[in-house]
């Protein structure tokens, strides 16, 4: 049985997710918390969750800070970020601090099950971050980083894409035009078979192309 923790400041959502997860085969919720501090207070070394569904915006101790703390103290616990909206920069911040994927709070139950299963078995979860062509492939079938031909300009852009800077700010930092940055982005989308900035960030993080 895969043990799950829920960290979200909305009580109704936590209770609803607990019921839903309880209906999924092989998953069981063992703890709930309203923020990161409550989670830390509840962690028991004798029964740690395998996966934690982590809200991003919470009082006292938010999802980013909590995920970073877990990475430092309990690296074996895999975090999936929960989000209300598709905000690339916030999700990238979560990924850089140790999250293994993200799902929207209004996702279908099957996507939730798939996210937890893939994070538990493969380490990361890809949803709309990748093209349909790559969906369903095991992560172990990915092309190694050294087999994808990325030039120096694209690599520099890729590292900047993992920050919270806008594309215009990245262009300024690189000393190139916005059109050139768009070209780097589009080329990487094609080479890495991803469709969003978050997809670029996951690739860079998984292949250790950025310093966390």
Task: Report, at the CATH architecture level, how domain 2-125 is classified.
Answer: 3-Layer(aba) Sandwich (3.40)
- Domain locations in the chain as residue ranges: 2-125, 141-206
- Count the alpha carbons within 13 Å of 42 in the hemisphere toward its beta carbon: 16
Q: List pLDDT tens digits, range 149-163.
A: 899 999 999 999 998
CATH code, 141-206: 1.10.10.10
104 three-state secondary structure: strand
Q: Which 3-state string (H, E, C) describes 2-44?
A: EEEEEECCCHHHHHHHHHHHHCCCCEEEEEEECCHHHHHHHCC
What is the C-alpha to C-alpha distance for residues 165 and 144, in angstroms, rounded to an integer?
27
Q: Which residues of the chain have pLDDT under 70?
A: 128-147, 212
What is the C-alpha to C-alpha distance for residues 45 and 42, in angstroms, rounded to an integer?
10
Q: Quote the pTM value.
A: 0.79
69 three-state secondary structure: helix
Q: List pLDDT tens digits, range 102-137.
A: 888 888 999 999 999 999 998 888 776 443 444 444
């Amino acid at each position: 049985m895969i043990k799950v923790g829920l960290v979200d400041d909305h009580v109704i959502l936590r209770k609803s997710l607990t019921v839903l997860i309880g209906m999924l085969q092989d998953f069981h919720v063992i703890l709930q918390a309203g923020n990161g501090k409550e989670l830390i207070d509840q962690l028991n070394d004798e029964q740690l969750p395998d996966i934690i569904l982590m809200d991003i915006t919470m009082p006292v101790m938010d999802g980013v800070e909590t995920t970073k703390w877990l990475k430092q103290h309990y690296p074996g616990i895999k975090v999936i970020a929960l989000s209300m909206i598709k905000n690339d920069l916030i999700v990238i911040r979560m990924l850089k601090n140790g999250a293994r994927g993200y799902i929207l709070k209004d996702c279908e139950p099957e996507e939730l099950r798939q996210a937890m299963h893939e994070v538990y078995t493969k380490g990361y979860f890809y949803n709309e971050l990748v093209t349909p062509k790559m969906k369903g492939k095991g992560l172990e079938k990915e092309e190694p980083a050294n087999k994808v031909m990325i030039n120096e300009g694209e690599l520099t852009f890729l590292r900047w894409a993992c920050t919270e800077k806008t594309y215009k700010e990245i262009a300024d930092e690189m000393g190139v035009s916005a059109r050139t940055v768009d070209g780097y982005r589009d080329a990487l989308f094609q080479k890495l078979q991803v469709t969003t900035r978050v997809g670029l960030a996951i690739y860079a993080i998984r292949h250790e192309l950025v310093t966390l």
